[in-house]
A = this chain, B = another copy of it.
Amino acid sequence: MLQAASFRGGDKAPVQILTAKQQIELGSISTEIAFNRGVRIYEAGSPADFVFIVKEGVVKAFQDLPTGGERVLTFLFAGDVCGLAQDGRYVNSVKALTPTICFKIPIGALTGMFLRDSELELQFLIKMAHELREAQRQQIILTRQQAHARVAMFLRMLQLRDGKESPRIELAMSRRDIARYLGLSDEAVSRAAARLNREGVVAFPGRHVAQILDRSRFEQLALAA
């Protein structure tokens, strides 16, 4: 079933806000596409004919910088929407970090459906507002002075994302992607993780797993700003 445009109604678990009818409608104009790990879903600057909704997997939205570097703007998970356009062109590139399945929706069909179903349109508006809040939260993270505090906030964001606050956090993205998301060098992320580990706050049993050891100190780091 189409999980489009689900969003968080607070700091709680994601909320399904589309009616069954709307999901069927959306399903009727969308097609499912699978992407392998590392595949570009679309490229910045190319014609924006489709909106994508992530059904399964994790993807990153990023921009290539003139200097050859790369800035990761956001990570997208199941239920997230991407395909933001400006003047009919995508403004950033999107790449699958894990095997991913997306719903692919022609932008014309979607806006057409908006005209008929104002409620559906409102859900997308709400979804967009949520993404804006996330981007602003990320701005706050980026101004944190200490690298290990940034990493802690990042881990906390991932933890909150799945509602259930399990101490075990899956990291689908590479250290490099984290660094480019947090505005740090690869080395700084490594050192920050090492420090959190050394201080007994977070353990990293594997490169794609984090385990919160000292919840209160972790929260303290992640919340204080």
Interface residues, chain A, with chain B CB atoms under 8 Å away: 9-10, 63, 65-67, 69, 71, 73-74, 84, 86-87, 91-92, 111, 114-116, 118-119, 121-122, 124-125, 128-129, 131-133, 135-136, 138-140, 142-143, 183, 223-225
* A69 to B224 alpha-carbon distance, docked (Å): 11
* A33 to B144 alpha-carbon distance, docked (Å): 36
Q: Which of B92, B118, B136 contacts A92 (CB 8 A)?
A: B136
- By beta carbon, the residue of chain B nearest A63 is B140
Report chain B residues within 8 Å CB of A114: 118, 121-122, 125
Report whether A10 and B87 are in contact in the complex, using a CB–CB cutoff of 8 Å: yes
Report whether A71 and B135 are in contact in the complex, using a CB–CB cutoff of 8 Å: no
Report whether A225 and B135 are in contact in the complex, using a CB–CB cutoff of 8 Å: no
Report chain B residues within 8 Å CB of A129: 84, 128
Q: Which of B63, B111, B132, B224 contacts A132 (CB 8 A)?
A: B132
A-B contact pairs, 9 of them (CB 8 A): A9-B87, A69-B225, A71-B143, A73-B136, A111-B122, A116-B118, A121-B125, A138-B139, A139-B139
